[in-house]
A and B are shown apart, each in its own frame.
Chain A
Amino acid sequence: MNPTARRSGIFVEHLPKEVILYDKSSDRVHCLSETAAAIWENCDGTRSEDDLARLIEARLGTPADRKLVLQALEELEKAGLLEAGHDLVSSGVMTSRREAVGKIAMAGSALVATIVAPAPAAHASSGKPDPPPPPPPIRHNPPDPPPKGPNPPGPKPPVTPPGGKK
């Protein structure tokens, strides 16, 4: 099955060379490199990995690289940005997902960087650790969606670079 981008509940903001996606269903924010963004935007269920590689070559002027497309698809899938059903193994080149991931891991650095949107309570600064989340505010206008809970515990991960080193 050809890959299909998941678009429902996703807010898109275009930057000069990257795309920011806010996934309202998971409260995650993704930064897609130029390559990953071009692939995501063209995953319409009709294009194969080879089609996408040729499209990237035409659009970005880089040589058609199926490995790069597979890497991007893997990262997009992990980020929940593809509809269920796409499987790299079905592409016919990879004999197993493990092999696919292994080859992809050698291909380069991340094309999709992701953070979990912090809940407002994560910003409390009473000087005490782990404050409780604030209650839903009293609203006199149509309500905003309430916070879905505090961030998972643990240290904040660094921002991982889409598209490799500068």
Chain B
Amino acid sequence: MLTIPPRGGVHVPGQGLEALDVTSVRAYGVRIEFRVPAPLLAHLPVPIVPGAEQGSRGPADAVISVRVDHTADGGTLYEIAENGTVLGMEASLQAAASVVESWAQLTVATLARGLVFVHGGVVGWQNRAIVMPGRSLSGKSTLVLALVEAGANYYSDEYAVFDSDGRIHPYWRPPKLRVASDQEAASRLLGGVVSGSPPLPITLGLVLISRYEAGSRWLPRQLSCGETLLGLLDNTVPLRLRPEESVKTLAKAVANAQGFEGMRGEAADFAEQALGLLRRV
């Protein structure tokens, strides 16, 4: 990591220019450069993006920068930008780091070459993957943890990474839950797992599309091949940028898989039934 005099750096009244750190990572073929205040780096995970190599060389696919601003009342604001376009403002280093991490991961998911990232949780069971596509706050991590507790292997709580043959690779990061007690449980369950080697790519077995409804029992409707594909495409990050690659890749993946859709209740009940479904597919 190189600390450089800030080119276009931050003027802090009475303190001169505030130093920026420049660092970069390359993950899944995407190189991202970061220009951020040095103290922010302490709040970023290592690696910032799962599977990334630090300090790579070459032209950047994206530059994420954080500019420090000082308000009239003495407060501090952190302005986060990607390729010069402002993404947002945060009042704390920790919050700014969270946005930087999230956008770095999204940028990789969008631009990764030869791979299609689908927003969703993934577990492996008897060498086949269960993918639960869904956006943020849809309960992906909770479902993944419930399936791991029921005996499945952890692959990801954020993205299903499909290669050109339709196989699913792990997105190897610790699961992130918003409730502190859930996060502690996740750390106990998977802390040792994600510090080890990631599992091998596997073929798709099940796609489960569900929405939580208190008191519901998981009585899913079986989806056709096309509906299953549509369910994945609805959560495919690079779909608008690379529609043909996305559709072809996921069509291969669903060829021997089965999809189900329905309301679900508690995660533990869902997990038991999901593994039962995969046994029958």
Contact = CB atoms under 8 A, between A and B. Distances in A.
Given A115-B233, A120-B238, A120-B241, A127 B98 contact: yes
A27 B62 CA distance: 24
Contact of A158 (B60, B105, B111, B261): B261
A18 B225 contact: yes
Interface string A100-113: 00000000000001
B238 to A, nearest CB: 7
Interface string A121-142: 1111111100110111111100
A31 B98 contact: no
A59 B225 CA distance: 20
Contacts of A20: 226, 229-230, 247, 251
B204 to A, nearest CB: 14
Contact of A156 (B85, B225, B234): B234
Contacts of A124: 102-103, 106, 136
A31 B106 contact: no
A79 interface: no
B93 to A, nearest CB: 15
Interface stretch (A48-56, A69-77, A81-89, A144-152): A144-152
Given A13-B251, A156-B234, A132 B87 contact: yes
B110 A134 contact: yes
Given A13-B247, A27-B240, A118 B234 contact: yes
A161 B227 contact: yes
Interface in A12-57: 13, 15-20, 22, 24, 27, 29, 31-33
A32 B230 CA distance: 11
A146 B83 CA distance: 14
Interface string B88-113: 10000000001100110111011100
A135 to B, nearest CB: 3
A162 interface: yes
Interface string B213-256: 00000000111111101110111111111111001100100000
Contacts of B87: 131-132, 134
Q: Is the interface of B mostly helix, strand, loop or mixed?
A: mixed
Report which residue of A13, A137, A158 has the largest number of chain B beta carbons within 10 angstroms of its beta carbon.
A137
Given A124-B102, A125-B102, A166-B221, A115 B230 contact: yes
B237 A123 contact: yes
A155 B230 CA distance: 17
B234 A24 contact: no
Contact of B107 (A137, A145, A156): A137
A68 interface: no
B7 interface: no
A148 B240 CA distance: 8
Report which residue of A24, A118, A163 has the largest number of chain B beta carbons within 10 angstroms of its beta carbon.
A118
Contacts of A145: 240-241
A162 B224 contact: yes
A16 B225 CA distance: 8
Given A11-B243, A123-B109, A135 B229 contact: no
B271 to A, nearest CB: 22
B61 A138 contact: yes
Nearest to B85: A135
A32 B83 CA distance: 39
B46 to A, nearest CB: 19
Contacts of B188: none
6 contacts: A17-B226, A18-B225, A19-B226, A117-B239, A125-B102, A159-B223
- Rank and list the top 10 A-B pairs by shortest CB-CB distance, nearest first: A135-B85, A18-B226, A125-B136, A31-B226, A126-B102, A144-B241, A120-B110, A22-B243, A117-B239, A123-B119
Interface of B: 59-63, 82-88, 98-99, 102-103, 105-107, 109-111, 119, 135-136, 158, 178, 209, 221-227, 229-231, 233-244, 247-248, 251, 261
Given A124-B136, A144-B241, 18 more contacts: A15-B226, A20-B230, A113-B227, A117-B233, A118-B234, A119-B240, A120-B237, A120-B240, A122-B135, A123-B109, A125-B105, A126-B103, A128-B99, A138-B63, A139-B61, A145-B241, A161-B223, A166-B222
